[in-house]
Chains A and B, each alone.
Chain A
Amino acid sequence: MTKKQIEISVQDISAIEKPSHRARLVKAPEHFISQELIADINANGLNENRRGFLRKGFMTALGGATAGLAAPLAMAAGEGDPAILEKQEWQTTLGKNVATMPYGIPSIYEANLIRRESPGLTRVSAASVAFTPLQGLFGTITPNGLHFERHHQGWYNLNPETHRLMINGLVKNPRVFTMNDLMRLPSVSRTHFIECGANTGLEWGNVAVPTVQYTHGMLSCCEFTGVPLKVLLEECGADLKKGKFMLAEGGDGSGMTRTINLESCLNDTIVAWGMNGEMLRPENGFPLRLVVPGVQGVSWVKWLRRLEVGDMPWNSKDEAVHYIELMPNGDHRQYASIQECKSVITTPSGGQQLLDKGFYNVSGMAWSGRGKVKRVDVSFDGGNNWRTARLETPVLTKSITRFNIDWVWDGSPAIMQSRAMDDTGYIQPSIKTLRNVRGTRSIYHNNAIQSWKLDSNGEVSNVQVG
């Protein structure tokens, strides 16, 4: 009775990169199916009429007709929903074995919620963006496979055994650490959002993209695990009086470099390897990245290989040519790094289609690079009147906070907005307020209130008001 090996269903993993070593299952001693269970399934589970009905149900759905799939609102006595009255395939047959998918992936019904590129945004996919499908997420944590991607010269699977972190510059002892070294140090685990400085950047001039995935999807939030930067810098004897700045350098082809403002960031920056309980994903910097809470994503250098303490900023390419904000007078704001307080309603949001009038739990995300979200207000009339939403706990600093608000839709057109405030007293501004000061060509740091218009046909679209 030995079962040598079960391969992962090809269909189940076709959407992901195949691992080079297929997982193999060795039969455990207790791995058997009881005869009783089989007899029960055989006796009760295989009414042919019922199976026939189920099959027909799926066939009808494939044909585009939908009667019978969703429960009618009211049922006469003696009638009922076939989904209840008829046994389903999964009640009446044997399910799949444990570890059929040794690394689990979402249900096949979730296949639409994936990272996507915005067509025409960039011309080279190795220096591009894949956006997180915020319209389908719950709570505050971004699943690792849906964390947004932004690379400057492509991504790699770096070999963790040859990965090194060097610390040099204004330090007494320039040092080299292996992953073996780093992962022995005292670590912390903290939940923080990461947002690209250019998130919502397409919308400075006007409405440009249809859904929250493309307007706000360069945003993710994870629990990161790593060693506090301060521990490493002190270990190397950094001169933090003279050395107010630090260069973080990546091991990728772009040798990604960003200056970190140590006066502002020293106390909460993490040199991280963990992400939501597992190692960083290669697209997110495996095996090591910098986590700079509250600061735009470009500074969270991936594939981190070097930290250099210095007495002036470096003016690297991504601080002197890109990630600079053009103001109306022709000046560029340089080193604008903090992601200010912002929020967005994720359901319902642009491109979505509501089914019917009635009750909805309107839900969204709020965050601030300067601290904690203090309050979120929601408007359904384009900003004329506001109600305060519920903040789901825990409300963490420089992290995403989920907000929810009850709403009964009467079927008439509505314009939905959310407006967040943080514990510094800052209030998320309107796009008009932003444009009045910064013009329309800034690209970066657009934290304007987002408006979604709901039409009477149930379709939601991206609009700007004012």
Chain B
Amino acid sequence: MFKLDKFSVRLSIAVLFACNVQLIYAQSSSAKYPGIGRAATPAEVAAWDIDVRPDFKGLPKGSGSVAKGQDIWEAKCASCHGTFGESNEIFTPIAGGTTADDIKTGRVASLKDTKQPQRTTLMKVPTVSTLWDYIYRAMPWNAPRSLTPDDTYALVAFILSLGEIVPDNYVLSDKNIADVKMPNRNGMTTKHGFWSVTGKPDINGNACMNNCVPFVQIGSTLPDFARNAHENIEEQNRLYGPYRGANTTKPPIKQLPGSAGVGLAHAADTHSSAAKGPAALFKNENCSACHAPNAKLVGPSISDVAKKYEGQSGSLDKLMAKVKVGGAGVWGSIPMPAQAQLSDEDRKTLVVWMLSGGK
């Protein structure tokens, strides 16, 4: 009896709550802009609000071992990042460059070394929450949002083990993640003027106007071997106008090209278009301004031309001549202009195509 009562009370609360929820989410609670937007449901917020902050707000419950992480890593991550997170083939390396001493001090000593070839993720990242958040939201590269929270704990545990931040038998969970000591946890500074528009700059230039640098020294130039490393610069600038590109497939020219641009590529080069079949010729040579496939425009349609000359001997030569010099009278009084710009080959292609009815 008691149990039943309790159940019915629960049920009625649930029903009430559900009605309430429906009511809330159906209406707009806006004061200023009525009719715009609606309340987000808790389920919607939960689906999208997956971020994890440095204080671990947002971190789901769960756990994963280094060993499980290694299995997932080898299946889903190693192809890009390398078996030990060391690969520099596709992305910059994940692990390497940190020491046991760094874990004690919270500052990665190798970051001071200007000879250090690479900065790995573990050398830089100050917070373990960053790893968890990013892996869960965006990895694997080609299948984001496919990992479970437990998978993610396992992968983070594995990465931490690569940096010897946790032992090989470690099981990372929401309970112990706050204990992880990242090697570069003290390596970040926000003491600078670039976080706020009113911040103070760290340096300033000099507004000197005259005799500022009596001896100008060039400290760095593009090495000769890199002249064409970004491909031909000539083809990355206009081929007309005052500012052309240098032809970097060749050594620099010996003297100024002069106003006519002697020796440089010219805009007309880009105008050369290889014929792309009769239909393209028909458009590019502007035949289509006066002729259409099936309808009479200024001139007759292609199908009417084909019908008229069907089976006539000598029609090819006759029309070839007509296209070249133009003419009037056959289809009415509006003359067809001469098309002398066409090569014999293009002219033949077009006429054969017209006689076939444009097929």
Residue of B nearest to A254 (CB): B138
The contact of B219 among A111, A112, A305, A466, by CB within 8 Å, is A466
Q: Is A338 located at the chain interface by the 8 A CB criterion?
A: yes
- Contact check, B243 vs A207: say whether CB atoms are below 8 A apart: no
Q: Is B26 located at the chain interface by the 8 A CB criterion?
A: no
What's the Cα separation between A70 and B242 when bound, in Å?
A: 12
Q: Is B9 located at the chain interface by the 8 A CB criterion?
A: no
Closest Cβ of chain B to A114, distance in Å, is 8
The contact of A356 among B36, B108, B211, B256, by CB within 8 Å, is B256
Closest Cβ of chain B to A30, distance in Å, is 15
Q: What are the interface flags for B230-244 relative to A under an 8 Å C-beta threshold, 1 for contact and 0 otherwise?
A: 110111111110111
Q: Is A317 located at the chain interface by the 8 A CB criterion?
A: yes
The contact of B187 among A10, A312, A332, A434, by CB within 8 Å, is A332
Q: Is A91 located at the chain interface by the 8 A CB criterion?
A: no
**Interface residue stretch chosen among B65-73, B314-322, B337-345:** B337-345
Q: Is A336 located at the chain interface by the 8 A CB criterion?
A: yes
Interface residues of B (CB under 8 A from A): 29-30, 32-33, 35-40, 44-45, 48-51, 53-55, 89-91, 107-109, 111-112, 114, 119, 121, 124-127, 129-130, 133-134, 137-138, 141, 144-145, 184, 187-190, 192-199, 201-214, 216-222, 226-227, 229-231, 233-240, 242-248, 252-264, 266-273, 276, 280, 283-284, 286, 288-290, 292, 294-298, 326, 334-335, 337-338, 340-341
Q: Is A216 located at the chain interface by the 8 A CB criterion?
A: no
- Contact check, B292 vs A3: say whether CB atoms are below 8 A apart: yes
The contact of B204 among A55, A61, A383, A429, by CB within 8 Å, is A429
What's the Cα separation between A460 and B222 when bound, in Å?
A: 11
Q: Is A381 located at the chain interface by the 8 A CB criterion?
A: yes
Q: Which A-B residue pairs are the 6 nearest by beta carbons?
A: A382-B216, A427-B205, A336-B194, A351-B233, A330-B112, A61-B268
Q: A176-B40, A320-B130 are in contact. Are A61 and B197 (CB under 8 A)?
A: no
Q: Is A103 located at the chain interface by the 8 A CB criterion?
A: no
Q: Which residues of A sit under 8 angstroms from B138, Cβ to Cβ?
A: 153, 253-255, 317
Q: Which residues of B sit under 8 angstroms from A411, Cβ to Cβ?
A: 256
Q: Which residues of B sit under 8 angstroms from A69, Cβ to Cβ?
A: 260, 266, 268
Q: Is A157 located at the chain interface by the 8 A CB criterion?
A: no
Q: Is A445 located at the chain interface by the 8 A CB criterion?
A: yes
Q: A173-B39, A430-B205 are in contact. Are A330 and B54 (CB under 8 A)?
A: no
Q: What are the interface flags for A329-348 relative to B under an 8 Å C-beta threshold, 1 for contact and 0 otherwise?
A: 11111111110100000011
How many A-B pairs with Cβ below 8 Å? Answer: 438
5 pairs, A vs B, C-beta closer than 8 Å: A113-B236, A184-B36, A330-B109, A354-B243, A384-B212
Q: Is A415 located at the chain interface by the 8 A CB criterion?
A: yes
What's the Cα separation between A33 and B269 when bound, in Å?
A: 32
What's the Cα separation between A440 and B127 when bound, in Å?
A: 25
- Contact check, B203 vs A174: say whether CB atoms are below 8 A apart: no
Given A42-B326, A333-B189, list of 7 further CB < 8 A pairs? Answer: A167-B40, A208-B222, A213-B236, A235-B30, A334-B188, A351-B246, A460-B246
Residue of A nearest to B260 (CB): A70
Q: A315-B54, A459-B253 are in contact. Are A93 and B286 (CB under 8 A)?
A: yes
Closest Cβ of chain A to B129, distance in Å, is 6
- Contact check, A312 vs B124: say whether CB atoms are below 8 A apart: no
Residue of B nearest to A421 (CB): B207
What's the Cα separation between A310 and B222 when bound, in Å?
A: 46
Closest Cβ of chain A to B213, distance in Å, is 5
Q: What are the interface flags for A434-449 relative to B under an 8 Å C-beta threshold, 1 for contact and 0 otherwise?
A: 1011111100010001
Q: Is A195 located at the chain interface by the 8 A CB criterion?
A: no
Q: Which residues of A sit under 8 angstroms from B263, Cβ to Cβ?
A: 66
What's the Cα separation between A360 and B242 when bound, in Å?
A: 8
Q: Which residues of A sit under 8 angstroms from B51, Cβ to Cβ?
A: 247, 249, 257, 308, 314, 316
Q: A213-B236, A335-B195 are in contact. Are A62 and B54 (CB under 8 A)?
A: no
Q: What are the interface flags for A154-193 relative to B under an 8 Å C-beta threshold, 1 for contact and 0 otherwise?
A: 0000000000001111000111111001001100000000
Q: A338-B194, A462-B221 are in contact. Are A45 and B53 (CB under 8 A)?
A: no
What's the Cα separation between A330 and B186 when bound, in Å?
A: 11
- Contact check, B257 vs A214: say whether CB atoms are below 8 A apart: no
Q: Which residues of A sit under 8 angstroms from B184, Cβ to Cβ?
A: 332
Closest Cβ of chain B to A397, distance in Å, is 10
Q: A124-B90, A464-B218 are in contact. Are A111 and B196 (CB under 8 A)?
A: no
- Contact check, B237 vs A112: say whether CB atoms are below 8 A apart: yes
Q: Which residues of B sit under 8 angstroms from A297, Cβ to Cβ?
A: none
Q: Which residues of B sit under 8 angstroms from A75, Cβ to Cβ?
A: none
- Contact check, B49 vs A308: say whether CB atoms are below 8 A apart: yes
- Contact check, B126 vs A315: say whether CB atoms are below 8 A apart: yes
- Contact check, A136 vs B237: say whether CB atoms are below 8 A apart: yes
Q: Which residues of B sit under 8 angstroms from A353, Cβ to Cβ?
A: 234, 237, 243-247, 253, 257, 264
- Contact check, A58 vs B271: say whether CB atoms are below 8 A apart: yes
Residue of B nearest to A351 (CB): B233
What's the Cα separation between A308 and B269 when bound, in Å?
A: 54
Closest Cβ of chain A to B230, distance in Å, is 5
